[in-house]
Homo-oligomer: A and B are copies of this chain.
Amino acid sequence: MTNDDRPDPQHRFSRQVPDGDNMPRLVCDDCGFVHYENPKVVVGAVASWQGRLLLCRRAIAPRKGYWTLPAGYLELGETPEEGALREAREEANAQLALEALLAVYAIPRISQIQLIYRARLLDPKVWPGEETQELELFEWDEIPWDDIAFPSVRWALNDHRATLGTENFAPRGNPPDEDGSY
């Protein structure tokens, strides 16, 4: 795994517009090395077992105690699919089969994009990982809508329902006029 822009303790950074660029960047005052900052990728899944949907109650901030999908930051050297499977293992000890790219969401306020997959649970036996207080396989009518951790979790659950039974479809995006703010 390589990453050209790891911050280096040898550098002293300040914000400057590098030559030939059009945005301020973190530039080393001594040698001119540019540290680019980039949006982050979240990968996750809406995972179902016989029509019930897996949600995890968060054991950590932000939104501790609220319900979310198994999802998290893509790691270096991973494909998005590998990352979504890893997050389900870490947060719910869940083994998934990914079926489709359900949605690509953008939360520009926090410079985040999310790739959320539709998945089947291969085994309904799941139990909480370290970042999870509690797990549930919810019927649609039981989903705790008032205690959902993030708007994009709500979007993904709705998009999962809207695309059920569809095999080859364009991934959904943010709902109209929603940018992920509460």
Contact = CB atoms under 8 A, between A and B. Distances in A.
Interface stretch (A9-17, A132-140, A142-150): A9-17
Interface in A38-62: 38-41
A79 B110 CA distance: 11
A26 interface: yes
A110 B2 contact: yes
A118 to B, nearest CB: 11
Interface string A100-131: 11001010111101010000000000000010
A155 to B, nearest CB: 14
A37 interface: yes
B101 A104 contact: yes
A74 interface: yes
A136 B111 CA distance: 33
A163 B127 CA distance: 41
A181 interface: no
Contacts of A115: 104, 113
Nearest to A105: B79
